[in-house]
Amino acid sequence: MNKILLQAVFFIILPVVTIDIHAELKLISIVKNKDVESCILKNGTIDSECLSAVSKRIENELNQQYQNKLKEISNYDYSQWWMGQKKQRQEMKRSFIRSQSLWEKYRQEYCKSASAGAEGVDGYSLIVLNCQANMAIRRIEEIKLVHPDLSDG
């Protein structure tokens, strides 16, 4: 009986606990960003030059990834697709451009809702900046997942 109980603990309960602990470790607040936080910790005050540099760096990286992917889509040899046509590539490009525009609006509204509890409080703009930076980092990863050649994914 003890052997069965031990096996149940090892094969059923332990993996569940491990998964739960792993999920807890991965949980991050969308309104906290390590680069933004380091700007504050650097001098113990809000360093606007540092914050501006962080924001510009992340936004530039996002824009660069977006432009690179747009170029990749625009120049992709659509004849590689089964019965590929130029209009398919054009539609992919239009959809990608449209998705970025919609994402920008989504990010603005999402960060507004995520930071609503701090509105009117000192540091509100930092909370919004944290959110926007984290959303941009996530978007960069999403853009990297778009592949005109489906076999690349």
| Reported pTM | 0.75
CATH-assigned architecture of domain 34-76+85-145 = Up-down Bundle (1.20)
Helices and strands per DSSP (H, E), number in the chain: 6, 0
Structural domain boundaries in the chain: 34-76+85-145
pLDDT more than 70, % of the chain: 80
For 13, 36, 82, the CA distances from 149, given in Å and listed in that order, are: 42, 36, 11
Tell me the average pLDDT across 51-58: 93
How far apart are the C-alpha atoms of 20 and 3, rounded to whole Å? 25
| Average confidence (pLDDT) over 44-61 | 88
Which DSSP state fits 44?
S
Which of 33-42, 106-115, 138-147 has the weakest average pLDDT? Answer: 33-42
Residue 16 in this model has a pLDDT that exceeds 50: no
pLDDT score of 18:
41
